[in-house]
Amino acid sequence: MRESNDASSSERWQGPAKKRLDAAFIWPAAGCGRRVAILYGGGIFACRRCYQLAYPSAREDVSDRAARRADRLRARLHWEPRILNGGGEKPKWMRWRTFDRLAAEHDQLLGRSMQGIMLKLGRFRDFPE
C-alpha cells in the first residue's frame, strides 16, 4: 500500500498480489473519510454522499419504474422503443408461450404507467393503489 504525500487527501493502492492494483481515494470532505473510487468536483472534491447526489432511478415514482420496465420488455421483444409506439409482432425465434407472457406483462406495465401519467396530469383522481 502506498499513500500520497498530500495532506488533504490520501490515495491508497490496494489489490491482491500479482493482480491489478485499484486506486481508492480517501477524501476528508467535511469529515467524511469514506473510501471511494470516484470523486466529484465543484467547490471541493468530494464523494457522492457528501454532495448528496442520487441516481436518476432513485427519484422515479411507480409509473416511471413501470415505463422503464416496459421499455426493457419492448427491447426483449424487439419492438420499437417507447411505450406509446404500440405493440409489435412476435419475434421469429420466440415461443408463443413466452411471447404471450411477456406481452401480457408489457400491457400491465403500460396500464400502470399510463395511470401514473394521468395522475400527474390531474385527470384521473379516483385511482385505487
pLDDT at 7 over 60: no
10 vs 43, residue with greater confidence = 43
Handedness of CA 123, 73, 96, 93 (dihedral sign): positive
Give the residue ranges of DSSP H helices in the chain: 48-51, 62-76, 96-121
Nearest-CA neighbor of 120 among 61, 71, 68?
A: 61
Would residue 5 count as lying in a domain?
no
Report yes or no on 129 lying in a domain: no
C-alpha cell at 20: 491489478
Looking at the structure, do residues 67 and 45 belong to the same domain, yes or no? no
Identify the domain containing residue 113 by its residue range. Answer: 58-121
pLDDT at 12 over 60: no
- Whether the model clears a pTM of 0.85, i.e. scores above it, the answer is no
CA distance linking residue 82 with residue 60, whole number of Å: 17
- pLDDT interval class at 68 (50, 70, 90): very high
The band of 30, judged by pLDDT with boundaries at 50, 70 and 90, is low
Cell of 47: 464523494
> What mean pLDDT value characterizes the chain?
77
- Residues near 93 by Cβ (< 8 Å), separated by ≥ 6? none
pLDDT in the model for residue 44: 75
For residue 84, being part of any structural domain is answered with: yes
SS3 9: coil
* Total number of domains in the chain: 2
pLDDT surpassing 90 at residue 77: yes
Taking only the tens place, the pLDDT of each residue in 85-129 is: 888 899 999 999 999 999 999 999 999 999 998 888 886 555 565
Do 68 and 94 reside in the same domain of the chain? yes
69, 109 contact by CB (below 8 A):
yes
Average pLDDT score over residue span 55-73: 89
Alpha-carbon distance values, 49 to 13, 14, 40, 58 (Å): 22, 22, 10, 14
